[in-house]
Amino acid sequence: MFNPATLSSHFGGIGRALSTPRYRIYWTGQAVMVQGFWIYKIASGWLMFDLTHSPAWLGALGSGYLLPILFLGPFGGAVADRFGYRRCAIAMGGSGAAIAFLAAILAWTNLITPILLVLLTLIQGLLFAFEFPARQALYPNLVERKDMPAAIALNSTTFHSSAFTGPAIGGVLIHFGDIGAGFAANAFCMAWMVGAIYFIPSPPNLRDRLAEKKASGIANDLRAGLKYTRNHIDIRLLILLSVTAALLVRPYLDFLPGFAGEIFNRGKEGLAALTSAAGIGAMIFASVLAFRGKTKGLTTFLVIGQSGSALFLIAFALTENFFVGLATLALVGGLLVFAATSAQSLIQHSVDDDYRARVISINVSLVLGAPAISALIIGWLAEFIGLQWAIVWPAIVSLAIFLPVGLLLRRRRRKIEAEKV
């Protein structure tokens, strides 16, 4: 028989989070939804490479999903603060599921083209710009503040675990079915997340809080969020490090089809293996943070994770041995999620409740939107200097930023990691 107290006593922060019914509902939805994300990434990435054999088109595809977040992310957070996190997450998630199913129909009828694939991905990105900050801002309504690091780390573990299982499922669907089956699976997974959020009760005093928000305009809400971020140096430093990693390290994911097809000559099976390797590493490292469930020490983990991920990405990009590539990519994925989860937890820990969705949306828009710009640049650059060096040089630049800013952040770690009342 299920006993929440047993979870809490034996599994620390994770157990306390999972002992909360609302969080369990959310987590089960998340566990299914993220499978769809990776299935779509594998299916769309391989389809684009198969249609074009061009790194520039791969960069355009990666930008299509992320570019809207760069410009609309802060606006999406203000909308969520104004109209309610749960309501926005359901509306945007449901629309995303419909677009994913439309992509499946176009694939089944052989009407999909590179331009149309980028356009559909762009629409998905527009919806995600509103859905993601709303869904992230639900955390304080799901678990207590002291358990947020564990809850965030568990969600990160779930996401990156799916980077192992999702590509495997996607590979089977593509091999025995077709690309359309992968897109349809993504639609089902997104709809599942919407259903999970629907069954999560609204937070207390929601009507009063929304009435207060409607007294001011969305533009005023957005300006207040930007001012709050600008006035808190620790939050600015955390966002700076996060954006640097997103801009200069994270884009490697968009070019794995090129590595699998041209550098390692392993085809779509190699693509699934490379993506899964990064997922395995991420799953292991995120699990450490999830079971640890503490805010103390996260600043150090952030600095180590970001510097280490850049170093091992350089090693991955320069090797032509497939198995060395798998090993180094596992470390890249692990260290990158180590850093990203630490930064996200510290930001959630530091921000006042009234500004949470807006600050999260600013961070999300920059962190998820930055690769949209760099993916285009790296894709274009790869046409001239080759894919390997187009990945290496941004990683070198990132190290020049990580080290001095990271050391400054570590000197302020006592204040950043201090318990909030």
| Of 214 and 404, more confident | 404
Average pLDDT over residues 192-201: 90
Average pLDDT over residues 260-281: 86
Calpha distance 179→51 (Å, rounded): 12
Please tell me the predicted confidence (pLDDT) of residue 410. 79
307 — pLDDT class (breaks 50, 70, 90): very high
Contact 310, 249 (CB under 8 A): yes
Please tell me the predicted confidence (pLDDT) of residue 417. 66
215 — pLDDT class (breaks 50, 70, 90): very low
Please tell me the predicted confidence (pLDDT) of residue 204. 58
Q: What is the CATH number of domain 20-417?
A: 1.20.1250.20
421 — pLDDT class (breaks 50, 70, 90): very low
Q: How far is CA 248 from CA 60, 391, 402, in A?
A: 16, 8, 11
Domain ranges of the chain: 20-417
Calpha distance 34→14 (Å, rounded): 19
Among the ranges given (109-118, 228-237, 299-308), the one the predictor scored with the smallest mean pLDDT: 228-237
Average pLDDT over residues 126-147: 79
Q: How far is CA 262 from CA 53, 86, 148, 326, in A?
A: 9, 44, 42, 15
Which tokens in the block code for residue 397?
A: 């630049």
Please tell me the predicted confidence (pLDDT) of residue 123. 94
Please tell me the predicted confidence (pLDDT) of residue 210. 47
Please tell me the predicted confidence (pLDDT) of residue 183. 94
The residues, ordered by sequence, that sit 6+ positions from 162 with a Cβ below 8 Å of its Cβ are 31, 34, 35, 37, 38, 279
Average pLDDT over residues 202-214: 53
What pLDDT digit, counting tens, does each position of 351-378 carry?
777 777 678 777 877 887 788 889 889 9
Please tell me the predicted confidence (pLDDT) of residue 3. 55
208 — pLDDT class (breaks 50, 70, 90): very low
The sign of the CA dihedral 166, 167, 172, 173 is positive
Q: Indicate whether 12 pLDDT > 60.
A: no
Which tokens in the block code for residue 379?
A: 């894709």
Q: Indicate whether 321 pLDDT > 90.
A: yes
Helix pair 179-198, 148-176: axis angle to 10 deg: 150
**Percent of the chain whose pLDDT exceeds 90:** 30
Contact 336, 398 (CB under 8 A): no
160 — pLDDT class (breaks 50, 70, 90): low
Please tell me the predicted confidence (pLDDT) of residue 248. 93
Q: Does the reported pTM lie above 0.85? A: no
| Of 378 and 293, more confident | 378
Please tell me the predicted confidence (pLDDT) of residue 293. 62
Calpha distance 99→115 (Å, rounded): 16
Q: Which amino acid is at 27?
A: W
Please tell me the predicted confidence (pLDDT) of residue 5. 52
Which tokens in the block code for residue 231?
A: 């006035």
